[in-house]
């Protein structure tokens, strides 16, 4: 199968929801439910019959920013595998060991020898644990070797374990057989035809795309990807991806009966989850979704900053509100309801920090340099400058000096690497706000607007000292606050 390079505009049409059989009032109800029950939804785009019927970004998040997709990256890796198989680079029945002879030990178990590419795709490698931590914590940076050293305790194909390491191995196989990273391989075959630009993907120390995580795309890019799958691999009259791969990848290949949440117990395909109501999805930690509903001809893309244990809730809202509102034909125009929806979508925002824009001590501490005790953020000094517009927070670390502007009652944009996560992002754009929440307490919220994360920094000024308490909203690790002490 030869790559298809698009040279035409890829603008998605926009229409009123009623024209596509959904009432604007139902979409508005869905948006209001996201705000009242989810509260950390960053964006969504809803398509029906190929048209965008509603889209919104909660400021300071915006359509121009890519967003870290976490495990939604896996569905794109699956797509790369489907394309590579179609081009004859390898087969899903090939032995995994055949690609990594130099990384395997002399003693190979029968179960490991039986592992095939299809088992990587369906997370049924036979390993009893996710191999990810065994791979990324290796001092030698050889993630593939780390994967192969995790024992295969079950017959491959019989036992499901969510295994981000397996997706990395798929990425490595694509690179070994095509000579290109996932980004480079997908660029002319997927990204360019769909009109997706500026995709980024973090890599292993050996220069292999992480595969299971690390892809960042804009919300509309995710929606386009979902629409490609909804159209069974067809894009603007061209077969970009084999329809047979779309069907196989989105059909349950292995049962996942241990899921505590109902939409995680519907079966797993090739890096796609099955859902209730005949739907399927790619999803990522903290609420990144690409939901495809073939029976209703619908795609929903969402980005969020949810706790990983709350990821069922948005799906419930989709089924309870949107699905129930879908009709087979168009609906009568409802100008009032559509205007109300349009108005709401144009005014979506995350509330800035609430408090006072000034404090009696602001002039005393403004411009002072505070030396910080040894800390995990490796901050050496910090300074606060106060103006009528807000607070400018400046920190010096071992690698340089950073300035983060924080608006009063609004969000000011900047950039930081203070909260970097090596496998996900380094320097990232910020939007920050601040307020005096007490006479001696300054509170700053710093949103890393291309990620699910935001940090709340509460600074207690006591004489010549500061005690700073920092918290992150969500994490796959500890949510314990970070305490910093500093003195002028």
**What's the Cα-to-Cα distance from 150 to each of 93, 120, 338, rounded to whole Å?**
21, 14, 55
pLDDT at 7 > cutoff 80: no
Question: 357 in a domain, yes or no?
Answer: no
pLDDT computed for residue 258 by the predictor: 59
pLDDT computed for residue 107 by the predictor: 83
* 204 and 332 inside one domain: yes
Domain CATH number, residue 421: 2.40.128.20
Mention every residue, 6+ apart, whose C-beta is less than 8 A from residue 211: 73, 74, 77, 167, 168, 169, 170, 171, 172, 182
Pairwise CA distance, residues 228 & 288, whole Å: 18
* 425 and 452 inside one domain: yes
Number of structural domains in the chain: 2
Per-residue burial over 452-472, b if 16 or more Cβ lie within 10 Å, else e, is bbbbebbbebeeeebebebeb
pLDDT at 5 > cutoff 70: no
* 409 and 339 inside one domain: no
Pairwise CA distance, residues 243 & 237, whole Å: 13
pLDDT at 425 > cutoff 90: no
What's the mean pLDDT in 318-337?
97
What pTM does this model have?
0.95
* 201 and 303 inside one domain: yes
* 185 and 294 inside one domain: yes
Structure tokens, 402: 């950073």
Give the pLDDT confidence of 222-268 residue by residue, as tens digits.
Answer: 999 999 999 999 999 999 999 999 999 999 999 875 567 899 999 99
Question: 132 in a domain, yes or no?
Answer: no
Helix axes 73-86, 219-230, angle to 10 degrees: 50
* 305 and 400 inside one domain: no
* 232 and 332 inside one domain: yes
pLDDT at 405 > cutoff 50: yes
* 320 and 447 inside one domain: no
* 313 and 434 inside one domain: no
Pairwise CA distance, residues 110 & 318, whole Å: 45
* 341 and 442 inside one domain: no
Percent of the chain at pLDDT > 90 equals 90
Query: Which of these ranges, 50-59, 213-222, 393-402, has the smallest mean pLDDT?
Result: 393-402
**What's the Cα-to-Cα distance from 224 to each of 96, 192, 193, 221, 232, rounded to whole Å?**
31, 12, 10, 5, 12
Which pLDDT band holds residue 323 (cuts at 50, 70, 90)?
very high
Q: Which domain holds residue 340?
A: 17-86+167-345
Cis ω for the linkage preceding 60 (within 30 of 0): yes
Give the pLDDT confidence of 278-314 residue by residue, as tens digits.
Answer: 999 999 999 999 999 999 999 999 999 999 989 999 9
pLDDT computed for residue 259 by the predictor: 63
Q: Domain boundary residue among 317, 345, 373?
A: 345
**What's the Cα-to-Cα distance from 351 to each of 22, 66, 119, 124, 422, rounded to whole Å?**
29, 21, 45, 43, 29
Specify burial of residue 422 (Cβ count, 10 A radius: 0-12, 13-18, 19+): exposed
pLDDT computed for residue 268 by the predictor: 96
* 298 and 189 inside one domain: yes
Give the pLDDT confidence of 433-449 residue by residue, as tens digits.
Answer: 999 999 999 999 999 99
Question: 134 in a domain, yes or no?
Answer: no
Question: 137 in a domain, yes or no?
Answer: no
* 290 and 178 inside one domain: yes
What's the mean pLDDT in 272-276?
97
pLDDT computed for residue 45 by the predictor: 98
Question: 195 in a domain, yes or no?
Answer: yes
Percent of the chain at pLDDT > 70 equals 97
Domain CATH number, residue 257: 3.40.710.10
Question: 117 in a domain, yes or no?
Answer: no
């Amino acid at each position: 199968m030869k790559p298809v390079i698009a040279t035409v505009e890829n603008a998605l049409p926009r229409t009123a929801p009623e024209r596509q059989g959904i009432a604007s009032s139902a979409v508005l109800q869905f948006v209001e439910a996201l705000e009242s029950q989810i509260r950390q939804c960053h964006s969504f785009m809803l398509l029906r019959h190929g048209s965008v019927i509603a889209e919104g970004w909660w400021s300071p998040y915006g359509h121009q920013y890519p967003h870290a997709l976490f495990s939604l990256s896996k569905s794109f890796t699956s797509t790369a595998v489907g394309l590579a198989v179609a081009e004859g680079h390898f087969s899903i029945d090939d032995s995994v060991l055949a690609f990594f002879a130099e990384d395997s030990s002399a003693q190979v178990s029968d179960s490991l020898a039986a592992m095939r590419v299809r088992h990587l795709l369906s997370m049924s490698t036979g390993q009893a644990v996710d191999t990810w931590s065994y791979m990324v914590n290796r001092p030698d940076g050889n993630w593939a070797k780390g994967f192969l050293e995790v024992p295969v305790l079950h017959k491959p194909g019989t036992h499901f374990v969510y295994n981000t390491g397996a997706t990395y191995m798929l990425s490595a196989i694509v690179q070994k057989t095509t000579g290109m990273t996932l980004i480079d391989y997908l660029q002319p075959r997927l990204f360019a035809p769909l009109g997706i630009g500026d995709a980024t993907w973090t890599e292993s120390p050996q220069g292999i795309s992480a595969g299971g995580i690390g892809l960042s795309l804009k919300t509309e890019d995710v929606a386009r990807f979902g629409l490609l799958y909804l159209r069974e691999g067809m894009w603007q009259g061209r077969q970009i991806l084999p329809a047979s791969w779309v069907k196989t990848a989105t059909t349950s290949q292995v049962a996942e009966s241990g899921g505590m949440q109902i939409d995680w117990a519907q079966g797993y395909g090739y890096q796609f989850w099955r859902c209730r109501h005949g739907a399927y999805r790619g999803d990522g930690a903290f609420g990144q979704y690409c939901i495809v509903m073939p029976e209703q001809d619908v795609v929903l893309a969402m980005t969020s900053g949810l706790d990983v244990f709350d990821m069922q809730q948005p799906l419930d809202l989709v089924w309870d509100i949107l699905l129930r509102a879908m009709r087979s034909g168009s609906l009568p125009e409802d100008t009032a309801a559509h205007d109300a929806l349009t108005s709401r979508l144009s005014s979506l925002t995350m509330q800035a920090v609430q408090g006072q824009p000034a404090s009696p001590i602001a002039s005393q501490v403004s411009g002072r340099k505070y030396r910080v005790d040894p800390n995990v953020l490796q901050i050496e000094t910090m300074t606060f400058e106060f103006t009528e517009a807000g607070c400018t927070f400046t920190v010096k670390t071992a690698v340089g000096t950073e300035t983060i502007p924080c608006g009063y009652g609004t969000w000011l944009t900047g950039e930081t690497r203070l909260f970097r996560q090596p496998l996900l992002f380094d320097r990232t754009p910020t939007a920050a706000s601040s307020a005096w929440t007490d006479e001696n307490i300054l509170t700053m919220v710093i949103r890393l607007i291309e990620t699910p994360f935001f940090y709340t920094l509460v600074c207690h000024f006591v004489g010549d000292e500061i005690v700073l308490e920092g918290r992150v909203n969500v994490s796959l690790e500890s949510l314990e606050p970070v305490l910093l002490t500093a003195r002028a």
